[in-house]
Amino acid sequence: MGKGVMVFAPLPQLTVMVEQVSDEPELHLHAGGQGLWQARMITALNVPVTFCALLGKGEVGRVLISLFDDEGLELKAVRRHADSGWYVQERRDDERHVVAENPGSPLGRHDGDELYALALAEGLKASICLLSGAADPSLVPPDFYSRLGGDLQRNGTAIAADLAGEHLNALLEAKPAFIKVSDEELADDELADKNDEASIVKAAQLLRDRGAATVVVSRAEKPAIALMDDGAYQVRIPKLTVRDEHGAGDSMTAGVVAVLAQGGDLKDAIRTGAAAGTLNVTQHGLGAGRADAIAELVKLVELEPLESS
């Protein structure tokens, strides 16, 4: 069995935040994107991460390379001439507003082949691989996930993912050990009514029937729903003051994967994921967290069986 987590993040972005906290604005530069936020939380939980990504050789890509040095993870990157994506946001009164953005260029045939080979090599060394998406899903073909996930799973590496739409459908062919999806995404795919708990459980069961071993459905301010071999559960979390709800789902996914990577119990993994997501919303940073705070919050997370299951 391998060690640690390989996070596959095909197209990370440079994030620029202009924050008005007093009379003077503050400027914050970070590496970003779903995979990076997940990797940051896994690292905060003291689990080693190998981060596989495609980065541009232009100005944005060069800045991203320097920012990765501060993340505490092992970066494995394929470099290409097309530059990396970016976005600029402004935050006032805890509200985010997009000023400008460019998600980057589509995955090409040559750089896609190189990225696949890199992710396969690193994934085969890992205990579990977390496959994340791009800011614009159309930039990465869905079959990339079915091929990579399937090849890793067939050769002994467990797969986890936080994907939706065609990309999730493609990954289900690889029989992932764990997937996280939001009720909004299920509604967008016409799989569930997000206001109907029974409908959400039914949709989660459909995803299990199609290959996923465990499914967690995040529901914003409502308790998440977890569907495992022994039934469906509401995931009840402690009440904390929310500062920024962005990134809670990514932190939840990361918390689950961090525990599974260490051979932990599935229910403990889901409690840890819920605690990580809960802590994340109390802070401004995405994927932000402390292992000691999460460990205390885990004690307050409850898995309540759903009677209908």
pLDDT surpassing 70 at residue 302? yes
Residue 3 is predicted with a pLDDT of 87
> CA–CA separation, 260 vs 277, rounded Å?
16
- At 303, the pLDDT band (50, 70, 90 cuts) reads very high
Which residue did the predictor score with more confidence, 291 or 224?
A: 224
Question: Do residues 52 and 64 touch, judged by C-beta distance below 8 A?
Answer: no
52 token code pair: 């596989």
**Surface-to-core class of residue 153, CB atoms within 10 Å of its CB (0-12 exposed, 13-18 middle, 19+ buried):** buried
59 token code pair: 């100005």
Average pLDDT taken over every residue of the chain: 91
At 148-184, the pLDDT tens digits run 999 999 999 999 999 999 999 999 999 999 999 999 9
- E strand or H helix that includes residue 67: helix 59-68
What is the biggest distance separating any 2 CA atoms in the chain, rounded to whole angstroms?
57
Count: domains in the chain: 1
- At 1, the pLDDT band (50, 70, 90 cuts) reads low
CA terminus-to-terminus distance, the chain: 33
At 3-45, the pLDDT tens digits run 899 999 999 999 998 987 677 888 889 999 999 999 999 999 9
For the residues 258-269, what does the mean pLDDT come to?
Answer: 96
Query: Three-class SS of residue 83?
Result: coil
Residue 268 is predicted with a pLDDT of 96
For the residues 101-126, what does the mean pLDDT come to?
Answer: 96
At 39-74, the pLDDT tens digits run 999 999 999 999 999 999 999 999 999 999 888 899
Residue 154 is predicted with a pLDDT of 95
Residue 283 is predicted with a pLDDT of 65
Of 203, 196, 257, 197, nearest to 34 by C-alpha is: 257
CATH at 262: 3.40.1190.20
Range of the domain at 171: 5-305
For the residues 105-116, what does the mean pLDDT come to?
Answer: 95
- Which residues in the chain belong to E strands, given as ranges? 5-9, 13-20, 25-32, 49-56, 74-80, 85-92, 95-102, 128-131, 158-161, 178-182, 214-219, 222-228, 231-236, 302-305
Which residue did the predictor score with more confidence, 244 or 226?
A: 226
Query: Three-class SS of residue 7?
Result: strand
293 token code pair: 């705070």
- Residues 6+ positions from 13 with CB-CB distance below 8 Å: 31, 32, 33, 64, 84, 85, 86, 87, 103, 104, 135
Q: DSSP character for 84? A: P
Task: Give all strands of the β-sheet with 222-228 in edge-to-edge order.
Answer: 74-80, 49-56, 5-9, 128-131, 158-161, 178-182, 214-219, 222-228, 231-236, 302-305
At 210-240, the pLDDT tens digits run 999 999 999 988 899 999 999 999 999 888 7
pLDDT surpassing 60 at residue 308? no
- At 291, the pLDDT band (50, 70, 90 cuts) reads confident
Residue 246 is predicted with a pLDDT of 64
- At 282, the pLDDT band (50, 70, 90 cuts) reads confident
Write down the pTM of the prediction: 0.93
For the residues 252-271, what does the mean pLDDT come to?
Answer: 96
